[in-house]
Amino acid sequence: MVEALRSRQADLGITEKDVLCVQIAGLCHDLGHGAFSHVFETFMKESKKSFKHEKMSCRMFDDIMKNFGAEGLDEEDVQFIKDLILGKKPSQENGRPAEKAFLFEIVNNKRTGVDVDKWDYILRDCHGLGLNVTFEYERLIHFSKVAKVEDEWQIVFKEAEAENLYEMNHARMLLHKKAYQHRVVKIIDRMLVDALLKADEFVRYTGENGRSLKLSEVCTDPVAYTHLTDDVIHRILRRKDSDLVEAKEILNNILTRKIYTYVDEVKEITEKEESEIKRLGGMSLKRKITFGSKKGNPLEEQHFYRRGDPNTYVTLKAEQVSRMLPKEFKDVNYYIVAKEECDAQRIREFLANPPRPPPPAALHRPASAAPPPPTSPSLSPDRTD
């Protein structure tokens, strides 16, 4: 992507070092993922610990620089690489002027979500799962350019590629539905988190200066974090001590396919219903699929240039691209599951016959009170004649 922009627009001043830094950021932006990828982030959240894998990627990258260095990269370049990973903007610290803001949209695009990270994992995972990909990243690279729009240097695409970008998000949605957030995947992810939580105090990793760290502390030490891989489940299973009996049982159940029982899928769930389901031995697993933005549709922030008028840049509402595109850009469901089959039956009965709210209290008046005066028929709101 960066080479294509450089070859077409020499006036952008993209240097060899800029290219190298963008490439390194692309290679290193996911260094901070823990065991089982996003499962580890859920584990850390439920351990009440602050953790973001992008920030951890920067810590791991700092550790690489400390131990190995990089010939030809100065402090500004190292900061530039970390800011590319985080999706930040040009600054004095990273040594890039405002005219190079577009470089920060290549690896992690916080503005529209259109970045090569998505292209990479969508293509990889669709290939691995045998799903057909209809979006063409080669066309996006070919029909991209840099322009100053609304006082900011951005990557813009040819207007004809707007539908291609929606195909990108459609492929991402399919991956979430069929793989990342498939109900069986969500259940096994939940079981992994439960096992890690039960093993937290008893699985130790050795960090810098021989420090012994429990599982939820490993991210505080890059040396220890280097050794945290999916192998953590085998560390737990190999241990003989009684402290890990519950964690081992959960992991063995995953390996023998004795997973939590699926009960039902609902679109909405109240706090009261969730509390009752929990009391009955179940839980709700939220499946949330978005276009990657809390604001709705981030592609409506994307600017396009027009064939025949390449110096005019426009944004497009979804309905301007196609009337067949969705009106909503967020889909939320809840999978109701139970740890035991006996609990599942009770939860099914509860969901089939949820308690109804009591009727409003009747308005009583003392027997001695005089009846209210009759309402004039002409003033009665119930009359239809």
pLDDT at 133: 86
Q: Which residues contact 300 (CB under 8 A, 6 or more apart)?
A: 315, 316, 317, 318
Residue 284: CB atoms within 10 Å: 19
C-alpha span between 78 and 24 (Å, rounded): 10
Between the CA of residue 106 and those of 26, 296, 335, what are the distances in Å? Answer: 9, 21, 35
Residue 158 three-state SS: strand
What is the predicted pLDDT for the residue at 371?
55
**CA angle, corner 311, sides to 307 and 314, nearest 5?**
75
Q: What is the pLDDT of residue 374?
A: 52
CB 290 within 8 A of CB 298: no
The DSSP letter of residue 265 is: E
In this prediction the pTM is 0.88
pLDDT at res. 216: 97
Domain boundaries, the chain: 1-108, 181-259
- Contact assessment for residue 347 and residue 277, using Cβ atoms and an 8 Å cutoff: yes
Q: Which residues are catalytic?
A: 53
Element (H, E) at 28: helix 16-28
Report which of 207, 201, 192 is spatially closest to residue 239, judged by C-alpha positions. Answer: 201
> And the tokens for 243?
């402290």
Between the two ends of the chain, the Cα-to-Cα distance in Å is 73
> Which whole-number Å values give the CA distances from 283 to 41, 130, 270, 286, 337, in the listed order?
19, 32, 12, 10, 6
pLDDT in tens, the chain (385 residues): 999 999 999 999 999 999 999 999 999 999 999 999 999 999 999 999 999 999 999 999 999 999 988 888 999 999 999 999 999 999 999 999 999 999 999 999 999 999 999 999 999 999 999 998 889 999 999 999 999 999 999 999 999 999 999 999 999 999 999 999 999 999 999 999 999 999 999 999 999 999 999 999 999 999 999 999 999 999 999 999 899 999 999 999 999 999 999 999 999 999 999 999 999 999 999 999 998 777 789 999 999 999 989 899 999 999 999 988 888 888 999 999 999 999 999 999 999 987 766 666 655 555 555 555 554 444 334 433 3
Query: How many CA atoms lie within 13 Å of 74's alpha carbon, on the beta-carbon side?
Result: 7
What are φ and ψ of residue 350, in 5° steps?
A: -65, -45
Instruction: Give CA–CA dist 195/367, Å, rounded.
Output: 64
Please give the pLDDT value at position 377.
42
SS3 208: helix
Determine the longest span between alpha carbons in the chain, in angstroms: 97
Q: With the CA atoms of 275, 278, 280 and 282 taken in that order, what torsion angle do they form, in degrees rounded to the nearest 10? A: 140
Q: Which amino acid is at 35?
A: A
86 within 8 A of 58, measured Cβ to Cβ: yes
CA atoms within 13 Å, Cβ hemisphere of 186: 21
3-state SS, 327-367, equals: CCCEEEEEEEEECCHHHHHHHHHHHHCCCCCCCCCCCCCCC
